[in-house]
Structure formats: structure tokens, C-alpha cells
């Protein structure tokens, strides 16, 4: 199985702040760092770190060469990344004293993908291959439809969530990976159990992974409901946690792992990621995930569905 991630490529400007800036307020950031980022890039790195062979498709500007080199260094195939006249997409990220983040994204080159490019990319993929998508590039509807026409497995992380998501051909999706806010917007529900059941009821050919931060995660496919706790780790920066979980889960799922095993590894990998600053740079390799000891926080039966 080939895995194609048609996703965003961003330059992350990360500012450490005592608290998130408020309207009308100016604050000093004691430090600023620049990292590779974008949900697409982060998830490709996580997929590769988990042992998957990944092809990344997307666009960068002439200022984005180091993003390309970063992907290559991780063993990711970059032949489907093209250069736009627009500048590379970027994100301005505030990280507060608790490790929480607030992010502003500029799409840039990520929003200049053409239908011709999409057609050329999909010539190289076939039935049974996997497509991983986020909501940071344009023409998602065409990408989804093309993947379904070719018989590919579609994994969709509708983040950041906006009004266009509900107008997409979501019936093409085989696996949704959502957080509480995204899941609530898709399902119209607020309780965790109702969210995953609501999504599968609307899109019966899909399964759902719902990530709940410190509360763990939940999987539902219409017949099975599985829960997963977290691992205790110091929280430095949560920016790449969700992308790490998605990449690890999708990689293990593609390799035929049991769902519970995939959830467990994804949870542990994301716990390790939040204990380091940055997004892509914080994603651990599989050997680190397997060799690192962290205290597991188990969930009592039924705990997550009651949320």
C-alpha cells in the first residue's frame, strides 16, 4: 500500500509568551524559533517516523526549500511537491506558559494547487492505496472525488474546521480523525459517544477516531467502540500532538495493526511529542516510542462515552 499525503507545507514562527495576547494588548515574547510545519508536513513526518512509506503532494513558494529538504531527510518522497509563485504558507504560533498554543495561518502556496496537478499526482496511485488529507489546501472536493474514483482509502482530518468542510463530499471518507470541536461540528452532538455515533450514522462507510487531549481517545466503526488512555509526560508544547497521533494511527492502520494497538502507539507518540518544543521536530521515531517508559493513565470502562 502506498500512502499519499496531499497536504499543507508551512513555515512555523513560534513565539513563547507568558499568555495569549488579548485584543488591544502588546506583549513581549522572550524567544522566537522557526520550524517546519503545516498539518500536512507534520503528519507526513509522523507517518514516516512510524515506519510508513509516504508520498507528499503539495506546493511551496521559492522560500520553502528547507521544507523540501526536511521531508527528504525523513525518507518522504517529494516528487509531487511543486513550486508556486506565491510565498510558502506560514503560521504564527503563540505558546503560553502551560504549553498551550494559539495559531494564525496564512495559506500562501498551499492554496494554489491546480486541477492539472491533481490529475497528474493520482496517475501514480491505485485501488487500496491510502490518501491522508487535512483542511489547509484548496480543491479538497476534487482530491476526494478523484481518490474515491481510483478506489483509494481516504483518511480526513478536517482541521482547521471551517464552513467549507460540510460542503465537501464526505461520503468518500473511510476514516475521520477529529478532536472534540471538529467532531461536534460534523455530528451536531457534544458528548463523545454521541459525536462518533453521529458521524458514522451520517457517513455509514466511515470509522471515526475522536481525540480528547488529556481524556484520551475513542474509536468507533459502527460495531466496535474502543477507548484509549494517555501517557503521562511533561507538557512543553502541544502544537504537534494531534498530527503525531494521526500519523502514527494511520501508519499502523495501513500496516494492518489491531485498532487498539494503533491507538496505544499513537497516544504514546503524541505524549512524547508534547514534552518537546516545536511540531515536526518534536515527533518521535518508532524506536523511541517503543523504548521510552511512560506511566500509562488507564480509563475506566465507559469513562469517555460519558463526557
Kindly report whether the peptide bond that precedes residue 18 is cis, defined as omega within 30 degrees of 0: no
Structural domains counted in the chain: 1
Per-residue confidence (pLDDT) for residue 299, from 0 to 100? 60
CATH number of the domain enclosing 226:
3.40.1190.20
Please report whether residue 90 resides in a domain. yes
Pairing, β 225-228 against β 217-220: antiparallel
Beta bridge partners of 260: none
Per-residue confidence (pLDDT) for residue 278, from 0 to 100? 79
- Where is the binding site for K(+), in residues? 237, 239, 273, 276, 278, 282
Q: Which residues contact 245 (CB under 8 A, 6 or more apart)?
A: 46, 177, 211, 217, 266, 267, 269, 270
Please report whether residue 153 resides in a domain. yes
Q: How far apart are CA 160 and CA 165, in angstroms?
A: 9
Please report whether residue 2 resides in a domain. no
Spot the catalytic one: 243, 264, 291, 301. 243
Please report whether residue 121 resides in a domain. yes
Please report whether residue 228 resides in a domain. yes
Q: How far apart are CA 264 and CA 255, in angstroms?
A: 15
Per-residue confidence (pLDDT) for residue 186, from 0 to 100? 98
To the query of whether residue 16 is one of the catalytic residues in this protein, the response is no
Closest CA to 226 of 253, 244, 202: 253
Phi, psi angle pair for 73, to nearest 5°: -65, -25
**Angle 263-125-71 (CA atoms, 0-180°, nearest 5)?**
60
Per-residue confidence (pLDDT) for residue 296, from 0 to 100? 82
Q: How far apart are CA 51 and CA 257, in angstroms?
A: 12
Q: Which residues contact 94 (CB under 8 A, 6 or more apart)?
A: 15, 17, 20, 21, 29, 101, 102, 103
Please report whether residue 299 resides in a domain. yes
Q: How far apart are CA 88 and CA 14, in angstroms?
A: 16
- Domain residues for the domain of 250 are 7-306
Please report whether residue 255 resides in a domain. yes
Closest CA to 89 of 144, 135, 47, 123: 135
Q: In which residue are the cell numbers 486541477 written?
A: 115
Per-residue confidence (pLDDT) for residue 294, from 0 to 100? 86
Closest CA to 86 of 64, 115, 108, 111: 108
8 A C-beta contact, residue 72 and residue 125: no
Per-residue confidence (pLDDT) for residue 238, from 0 to 100? 84
Please report whether residue 1 resides in a domain. no
Rounded average pLDDT per 10-residue block, the chain, 307 residues: 98 95 96 93 98 98 96 98 97 91 94 98 98 98 98 98 96 98 97 97 98 94 96 87 97 97 97 88 93 76 49
Q: Using only C-alpha atoms, what is the Rg of the chain?
A: 18
8 A C-beta contact, residue 121 and residue 58: no
Grid cell in block for residue 33: 524559533
Amino acid at each position: 500500500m502506498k500512502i499519499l499525503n496531499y497536504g499543507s507545507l508551512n513555515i512555523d514562527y513560534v513565539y513563547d509568551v507568558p499568555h495569549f495576547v488579548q485584543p488591544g494588548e502588546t506583549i513581549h515574547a522572550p524567544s522566537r524559533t522557526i520550524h517546519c510545519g503545516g498539518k500536512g508536513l507534520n503528519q507526513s513526518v509522523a507517518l514516516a517516523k512510524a515506519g510508513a512509506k509516504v508520498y507528499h503532494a503539495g506546493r511551496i513558494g521559492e522560500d520553502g526549500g528547507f521544507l523540501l529538504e526536511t521531508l527528504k531527510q525523513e525518507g518522504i518522497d517529494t516528487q509531487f511537491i511543486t513550486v508556486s509563485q506565491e510565498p510558502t504558507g506560514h503560521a504564527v504560533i503563540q505558546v503560553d506558559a502551560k504549553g498551550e498554543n494559539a495559531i494564525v495561518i496564512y495559506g500562501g502556496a498551499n492554496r494554489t494547487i491546480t486541477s492539472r496537478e491533481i490529475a497528474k499526482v493520482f496517475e501514480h496511485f491505485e485501488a487500496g492505496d491510502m490518501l491522508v488529507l487535512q483542511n489547509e489546501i484548496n480543491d479538497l472536493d476534487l482530491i476526494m472525488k478523484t481518490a474515491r474514483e481510483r478506489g483509494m482509502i481516504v483518511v480526513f482530518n478536517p482541521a482547521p474546521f471551517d464552513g467549507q468542510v460540510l460542503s465537501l463530499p464526505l461520503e468518500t471518507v473511510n476514516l475521520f480523525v477529529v478532536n472534540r470541536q471538529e467532531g461536534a461540528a460534523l455530528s451536531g452532538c457534544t458528548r463523545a459517544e454521541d459525536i462518533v455515533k453521529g458521524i458514522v450514522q451520517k457517513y455509514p462507510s466511515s470509522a471515526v477516531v475522536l481525540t480528547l487531549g488529556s481524556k484520551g481517545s475513542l474509536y468507533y466503526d459502527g460495531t466496535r467502540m474502543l477507548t484509549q488512555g494517555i501517557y503521562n509526560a511533561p507538557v512543553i508544547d502541544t502544537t504537534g500532538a494531534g498530527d503525531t497521533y494521526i500519523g502514527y494511527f494511520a501508519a499502523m492502520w495501513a500496516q494492518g495493526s489491531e485498532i487498539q494497538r494503533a491507538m496505544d502507539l499513537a497516544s504514546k507518540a503524541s505524549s512524547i511529542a508534547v514534552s518537546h518544543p516545536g511540531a515536526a521536530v518534536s515527533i518521535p521515531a518508532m524506536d523511541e516510542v517503543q523504548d521510552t517508559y511512560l506511566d500509562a493513565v488507564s480509563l475506566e470502562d465507559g469513562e469517555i462515552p460519558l463526557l
